Amino acid sequence: MESISYIIDTLYAIFAMTLIIFMVPGFAMLEAGIVRTKNVTAVLTINTLIYAIASLAFLLIGYSIAFGDFGSDSMSKWAAFMFQMAFVGKVVNIMSGGVSERAKVVPLAVFTVIMAAVLYPLVVNVTWGSNFLDGTILSLSMYDLAGSTVIHSTGGWALLAAILIIGARKGRYTKEGGIRVIPASNIPLVTLGAFLLWIGWFGFNGGSVGSIASKDNADAVALTIMNTNTAGLAGAIMVACFMQFRYKKLDLTMILNGALGGLVAVTAGPDLYDIYTPILVGAIGGIIVVFGVSFFDKIRIDDPVGALSVHLLNGIWGTLAVGIFASNGSDITLLGQVKGILLVAVFAFTSSFIILFIINKIMPLRADNDEEMQGLDVEECGLEAYPEFKRAF
């Protein structure tokens, strides 16, 4: 029986990991669809490099910082590694999307090494890992099943740091206080990417239960996946209703971001909710996206893909939601959740800011004006994304 559990959990971890890897093309397609055609290749290149670099850096350095060493009794240690490895790139994907159309590829690749080898592993260490803070006053009791804070907020704080250093895209905010709308260039890619992410989330959250090899665990896994999905549904529907009633336009990019917002929000505790609570958690997540996008534009934080609203704000909301809706009878407290959010916030923002600041001194993060106007594809990659298609402008 022990050996059966080992086998089934290994198979299950491989399955869950594979779904998460679908998020690599997921992020790539989503972001490539949102940016202008002149920056598409650069976005795809950094997404590809993030997966390659973050995964290898985590294999060589990060994993042992987070978890001590390769090892697992309950499943193959290689499957356990692959499952964790699949997470790493996501943190930087979240960040790279928000600085697209003006951040250069190579410095982002350098930052990826440091994030995947050191920064993210330290966050994991004190939340899911061996916890070097154990016994100290900073020791965390936050519940965060699959990373509303550990993954999404960490990536979001890194993004905020990056935007503060890099600034907005040229022409995005006018001197008169106006905001220039820059439409997504390829809506089918955005849609495809969003659904690949959605499906990947089943592996992300479902796999984070850690085992499927008992009746209780099988139920927990299935409930987790069901609740994850439900929050995505609710986020999409909430935003669709809002857009329709407010603007009479069903803005699809916003609806999809609403779904993703709901998915981020439920990620901290999908195993703890009954089957109806995720409707509320996800619907609020969708609304947070709508208002978050306006808010960041108002304060001139330029985030082309809405990553701050989807990942940072909803990462926070989702972690709080566990404290609000799932604290009865357990040792989860709203205070414990807040403490976790704050500690990760301070660490992730500060460390990312410092590292990015240093990188920026050595090799500018931002493309120069000519390159930005021309688009990053030609200068950075030597490849236009759609060279045969005539541009409308």
Among positions 114-143, residues that touch its own copies (CB under 8 A) are none
When binding is defined by CB under 8 A, the residue of 244, 330, 369, 374 that contacts its own copies is: 244
Q: Token pair of 99, please?
A: 């600085």
Cβ 70 to its own copies shortest distance, Å: 8
Between 6 and 347, name the residue whose CB sits nearer to its own copies: 6
Q: By CB under 8 A, is residue 18 in contact with its own copies?
A: yes
Please, are residues 381 and 42 in contact by the beta-carbon 8 Å criterion? yes
Cβ 341 to its own copies shortest distance, Å: 28
Q: Token pair of 128, please?
A: 């899911």
Between 8 and 334, name the residue whose CB sits nearer to its own copies: 8
* CA distances (Å), origin 264, targets 9, 110, 173, 277, 312: 25, 27, 28, 15, 9
Between 278 and 336, name the residue whose CB sits nearer to its own copies: 278
Q: By CB under 8 A, is residue 64 in contact with its own copies?
A: no
How far is residue 119's CA from residue 279's CA, in Å, rounded to a whole number? 33
When binding is defined by CB under 8 A, the residue of 68, 132, 139, 250 that contacts its own copies is: 250
Q: By CB under 8 A, is residue 41 in contact with its own copies?
A: yes
When binding is defined by CB under 8 A, the residue of 118, 133, 179, 218 that contacts its own copies is: 218
Q: By CB under 8 A, is residue 24 in contact with its own copies?
A: yes
> Of 78-107, which residues contact its own copies (CB under 8 A)?
78-79, 81-82, 85, 105-106
How far is residue 274's CA from residue 255's CA, in Å, rounded to a whole number? 25
Between 354 and 363, name the residue whose CB sits nearer to its own copies: 363
Q: By CB under 8 A, is residue 12 in contact with its own copies?
A: yes
> Of 172-201, which residues contact its own copies (CB under 8 A)?
183-189, 191-192, 195-196, 198-199
Please, are residues 152 and 311 in contact by the beta-carbon 8 Å criterion? yes
Helix axes 23-34, 2-21, angle to 10 degrees: 20
What is the residue-wise DSSP string for 126-164?
A: HHTS--TTTTSTT------SS-IIIIIIHHHHHHHHHHH
